[in-house]
Structures are given as structure tokens and as C-alpha cells.
A and B are shown apart, each in its own frame.
Chain A
Amino acid sequence: MQTLTTRSKVAVNKKMTFIERLYIPAIMGGMRITLNHFFKKKVTISYPEQKREFAPVFRGQHVLKRDVNGAERCTACGLCAVACPAEAITMTAAERKPGEENLYREEKYASVYEINMLRCIFCGLCEEACPKEAIFLTDRIVDTDYVRQNFIYGKDKLVDPIKNPIDVSKRETEETREFKKNPKYAHNQLNKSLKA
């Protein structure tokens, strides 16, 4: 029979020889192995000082992006909530009042937008479903907490800060970037530098 790996060994129940029954050579062999490991390079990453790099496709805490003028892109269409397999997203839609054009891009916006981080499985389907390029998953890790209530993230935690907007360019595919070059969709450009 052909084996899949070279590692498997057929067990033989043959009687051990005298030397083998002494166990001393086997023990010394084992101790040689542990001593070799003693001098090997350590694989530990000392966490707070050193951090492992995330993969470019890492999906962490969400962000609700703003457009070039600093207005929220989300229009509360609910597609993300529909797409969400974990049913983590809820929202309440509201109508934009006159004079709020600099706050919300479309006439309809999400007055409440909540993601339950305990339910979220970080699959990224909300991001794929979003027609307005409003929601993105970032390379941030959701903070720990002692209280379940605190894991329901509202707009205060989700919406992109006006100063230091979060970079989500890593989440864009080559096709998306190509698509955005079309001047017809210029409004879809994400805000890299905002006039605060």
C-alpha cells in the first residue's frame, strides 16, 4: 500500500532487545532532541511590543465612511442588514432636513445604525452588499469589554472620524479601482484628504 506521507510508521509488536529494554539510549535520544530545541530560535511574538502583520484581506471592526465633503455616505437602504447572515445590523432611516446637506449625502440617512459585534462574524457581506461604498471592514480589532451591552456599536463608534479618516484602500480590489477611474462615478472616490 502506498502511504500518503513519509511520516507514518507501521507498528510492530516485536520483542524488544536487551539494549532497547534498558531505555537509556532512547532517553538520551529524547534528551538530545530537547537540548537541540533549547538552542533553537524562539517562535514567540511578544505581543504588545511586537504585533503580527495582518493579511491584506483581514476583516475587522467596521467603519461607516464619509464622502469627499465629509457627509455620511450611508442612505439607510438596509441592504447590509438583509445581507448579514448573523443578523447583526439594525438601522432606523430618517429624512434629511434642509440645511443638513453637508452632513448626509442623500435625502435619506440612517439616524440609528447599530452593529452587534458579538453577533457579527466578520464575513464582509455587508461591505459587498453596500451600493454606496459606505460600510467597510478595517484592520482594527474590536475592543474587549466586560458588559455585553457595550458590544452594540452605534454610529458614535462606527462613523469615520472627520480628522484622521480610516484607510480602507486595502479592501478595494483592482476592478473597483479601475471602475472608479470612470469620471461618471467620480463621486464614489473615497475621501483620503478631508477639508475638516
Chain B
Amino acid sequence: MSITLFIIYKAVLVVIVFLISLLIAMYSTYAERKVAAFMQDRIGPNRAGPFGLLQPLADGVKMFMKEEILPAVSNKFLFILGPSIAMFTSCITGAVIPWGTSLHIAGNDFSLQVTDINIGILYVMAVTSIGVYGIMIGGWASNNKYSLLGALRASSQMISYEVAMGLAIIALVMTTGTLSLRDIAAQQTGWHWNIFYQPLGFLIFLICAFAETNRTPFDLPESDSELIGGYHTEYSSMKLGFYLFAEYINMFISSAIISTLYFGGYNMPFIGRLGLSPNIEAVLGIVFLFAKIFFFIFFFMWVRWTLPRFRFDQLMNLGWKILIPLSIFNVAITGFVILMLHK
């Protein structure tokens, strides 16, 4: 592959992943409202376009038209930096996710992954950790008590749950033997999905994913009913839109990572037996991955409209006293089993 072709192909892939992230985040807002409505025996948005499908556009236009307010007592630079970091970090996480195997066109091998770095999982953890700064900086720069409380809650919550999440991933990495997301996805052919080897690890990871994306029952940083929006109380217009949008992109990326780590990524058990050409298989792989992702996005919403919010001390108890010991236990068990199998 020539260097120009390589650059063009990577640029196109980056733009496509970026656009798909934005599109799915857009329609997640619509889906969220529809799911909420359906679970409450209502219809949901149905005025803008057929079935309300243009609702995200209407919301976007509304966000752009709103007055931009910079609080006089806020730190201007950090106030703008906050939502930018939140949006930026949630957008770049998609770079290491393998969206499919690879396409073979005219003798060239086009991998359906923006970059296959050998520490893919660490990269994801690192970037999501930086995402906390977006919330912290935004909450602090607002110079508002509610925002600061929301930012404090967000940072303490994310830090406590990142430990358990990291330990869950360590157990997973012990079984897979690699940190590269591409290798992890490729290992899970047939029924060798990691969920069957790491059920406890999956449960811990799932709970932590809810906490990391600030979704109910862990939406304490926002908690509309007690902190009037938490860290984004002072935000308006598209800066608020960035925060809300970043949350939905995070949800999409989390679903993608859960699918890749535990549910076989682009693999589907029966697909190898059909004897299809590799290109069609790759395309079907994308479809399967997205089906899994959509299921998990729905799952996120389903949980949100079922469970109430935790109290803050309950949240901390769950994180430090239950999930972390449980994940250490999981690591120990995994290590023990691996030791026994290799004897």
C-alpha cells in the first residue's frame, strides 16, 4: 500500500468513525426520550418529522440558537476548556475499537480499525480518565456551589470506580494475554466470548461503565433534582450541548468496548460456517458489532428508566467496599484457574 493511499484510507476511516459517533449520539438522545416514554406508557417525541425522527435536528438548532452566557465571575479560559475536553476525549476513544476485521480491495488490506496500538485497553482507560478533567474543570470554572459539588462528586465517583474497572480488566487481560483490542476481538471466535470466562469480571465492568458514563443509577454529578444539573449548571447554548453530547458518545463508546471485550466484538458464532467471502464476512461483522452496541445502548437506557439514583455514601460503599474487593477476588480466582490449567 502506498503512503498516500494509506493516509487517505486512514483519514476516511477517522472521519467515518467520527461521523458515526456523532450520528449515534444524536439519535441516542431521540432513542432515550422514546425509550423513556415507552417505559412510562407514553408516546414520546412525534412532532418533528415522521415519528419525530427530526427531533435531534430540532434540538441541535435550539442549542445553537440559545444565548451564549459566560458567567462574569467564571474563569473564561477554563470555562470553555471544560466542555471541549469532555467532547474531545469522548470522540478519540473510538480510535482503537476494531469495528470489523478487514476489507480486501484490489490487493490492499484495509483494516477496519483506525489504529491497532498494542496497549488498546490502557489507551481507553487513559482517555476516559482524562474525560474526568472536562467535568472537573467545567464545574470548578463555573464558580458556582452546585457546579463545584457536581464536579467533586464526578471526580470522586470516577476515581473510585476506575480502580474496580481496571481490576476487572486485569482479570480479562490475564485470560486473553494481550492488551490489544484487535487481538482480544479476534480471539473470541465461535462461542469463545469472554463473558463465559469472566462473568464476574463482566458484571463489575458493566457496573463501572455505568459509573464512568455518569448514567443512572450513578448520575450523581448531574442529579437534576438536587444539584440542578451539577457541573453544567452554569452552561448554556452549545457548550451545554457539548457536555450532553459527550455523555451520549461515551455511552456509545462504552457499549462498543463492552461488546468488544466481553461479547465477541464483530464475531458471531455461526458466521464462519456459512462459507462467505471474507469481505462480506467483514461487513456482516460490522453489522453484528453494531447490533450488540445498540443492545447495550438500549440496556443503558433501560436501566436508567428503571433504577433510582444512589445516595452518595451508598455509591462510595459500593465502589470501595464491594466492587474493589470483589474484583481483587476475581483476579485471584482467575490467576488460580490459569495456574491449575497450565500445570
Contacts and interface: CB of A to CB of B under 8 A. Distances in A.
A147 interface: no
B224 to A, nearest CB: 19
A38 interface: yes
B43 A46 contact: yes
Contacts of A41: 41
Interface string A32-58: 011101101111101000000000000
Secondary structure of the B side of the interface? loop
Contacts of B41: 37, 40-44
- Chain A contact residues: over half helix, strand or loop, or mixed? helix
B66 interface: no
B42 A31 contact: no
B287 interface: no
Nearest to A27: B307
A85 interface: no
A30 B306 contact: yes
B38 interface: yes
A27 B210 CA distance: 14
B302 A35 contact: yes
Contacts of A31: 302-303, 306
B38 A46 contact: no
Interface residues of A, number: 14
Contacts of A30: 306-307
B46 A46 contact: yes
B40 interface: yes
Interface string A1-43: 0000000000000000000000000010011011101101111
Contact of A44 (B35, B42, B303, B305): B42
B42 A42 contact: yes
Interface in B286-324: 302-303, 305-307
A33 B41 CA distance: 12
B47 to A, nearest CB: 9
Interface in B217-240: none
Contacts of A46: 43, 46
Interface of B: 35, 38-43, 46, 302-303, 305-307
8 contacts: A30-B307, A33-B306, A42-B38, A42-B43, A43-B41, A44-B41, A44-B42, A46-B46
Interface of A: 27, 30-31, 33-35, 37-38, 40-44, 46
